[in-house]
Amino acid sequence: MKNKEGVPQHIAIIMDGNGRWAKKRNENRIKGHIKAKKSVRESIEFCVEKNIKYLTLFAFSTENWKRPKLEVQALMNLLHNVIGEELDNLNDQNIKLKIIGDLSPLPEKTRKSLDLATNETVNNNGLNLILAINYSGKWDILNATKTILENKENVDLANFNEKVFEKNLSTFNIPDPELIIRSSGEERISNFYLWQAAYSELYFTDILWPDFNKNELNNAIFEFKNRNRRFGKL
């Protein structure tokens, strides 16, 4: 659903290209992840300024565990540190944080930081910031299916539909994203919001994530405004 200015109310971003950004500069891949903090901050600020209600950032996929061990450790430490550094800013901007994904494999200190930030911002009612961490669309659908099967005695098959299924997804009560953005030139959604992206508009940019800024986000929204979203209708 768009607001009065035609701006999407839920934007999701696949933040891609940190490693390539660093490689182009003969830097360690971790430098790309650190530099990307600015892009995250700008995207959040933009959504607050434009009164966008939901922003999902695909921060760490279930497939990212396949990366070098040192890089994964650095990412977990970075996530722990950034959450701690930005907690006051989240509250100052009235941002509510929600985490989706399987957090059980994460280091304890990272889980605690995420839990603290979630609890500390639970009463905020501005931007809903959703971090997808150790998340995949397949995991989400499979997890929902398992939950339903575990309670199958309460399932009314005659009235079982999409709405019933969606109640078991990690994004229950979050509207589907109208716009999904991916940086770095890759043109796929890489096991992100598989169920939720059924009618999302997709925007791909060659800009690597550490160089992504408010101007590029504004470009994505401009293109979104000019698309004809028919939802199967003529």
Categorise residue 191: left if φ over 0, alpha if ψ from -120 to 50, beta otherwise.
left
Is the confidence at residue 231, as pLDDT, over 80?
Answer: no
Q: Which of 16, 128, 134, 176 is catalytic?
A: 16
Residue 207 CB coordination number (10 Å): 18
Structure tokens, 208:
């690597």
**Domain residue extents for the chain:** 10-225
Task: Compute and round to an integer the Cα radius of gyration of the chain.
Answer: 18
What number is the average pLDDT over the span 80-108? 97
For 54, the 3-state DSSP assignment is strand
Phi and psi dihedrals of 97, rounded to 5?
-100, 135
What number is the average pLDDT over the span 223-231? 87
Which residue, chain included where needed, has tokens 């043109």? 187
For domain 10-225, the CATH class is alpha beta
**Is 88 one of the catalytic residues?**
no
User: What's the confidence (pLDDT) of residue 232?
Assistant: 72
**Pair type for strands 10-14 and 54-61:** parallel
pLDDT digits (tens, 9 = 90+) for 169-211: 999 999 999 999 999 999 999 999 999 999 999 999 999 999 9
pLDDT digits (tens, 9 = 90+) for 129-171: 999 999 999 999 999 999 999 999 999 999 999 999 999 999 9
Composition of the chain by helix, strand, coil, percent to 5: 45, 15, 40
CB 10 within 8 A of CB 53: yes
pLDDT digits (tens, 9 = 90+) for 101-137: 999 999 999 999 999 999 999 999 999 999 999 999 9
Indicate the pLDDT class of residue 1, thresholds 50, 70 and 90.
Answer: low
As a whole number, the mean pLDDT across the chain is 96
User: What's the confidence (pLDDT) of residue 230?
Assistant: 77
Beta bridge partners of residue 2, listed in sequence order: 8
Percent of the chain with pLDDT over 70: 97
Structure tokens, 5:
């200015």
Is the confidence at residue 3, as pLDDT, over 60?
Answer: no
**Is 16 one of the catalytic residues?**
yes
Structure tokens, 171:
């994004």
Q: Which of 3, 18, 64, 156 is catalytic?
A: 64
User: What's the confidence (pLDDT) of residue 6?
Assistant: 87
Structure tokens, 161:
């539909």
CB 69 within 8 A of CB 63: no
Indicate the pLDDT class of residue 234, thresholds 50, 70 and 90.
Answer: low
Beta bridge partners of residue 61, listed in sequence order: 135
User: What's the confidence (pLDDT) of residue 108?
Assistant: 98
> Rounded to two decimals, what is the model's pTM?
0.95
Indicate the pLDDT class of residue 2, thresholds 50, 70 and 90.
Answer: low
User: What's the confidence (pLDDT) of residue 208?
Assistant: 98
Q: Which of 43, 9, 50, 25 is nearest to 217 (CA)?
A: 43
Percent of the chain with pLDDT over 90: 94
Q: Residue 168 contacts by C-beta under 8 Å, 6 or more apart in sequence?
A: 143, 144, 145, 147, 148
**Pair type for strands 96-100 and 128-135:** parallel
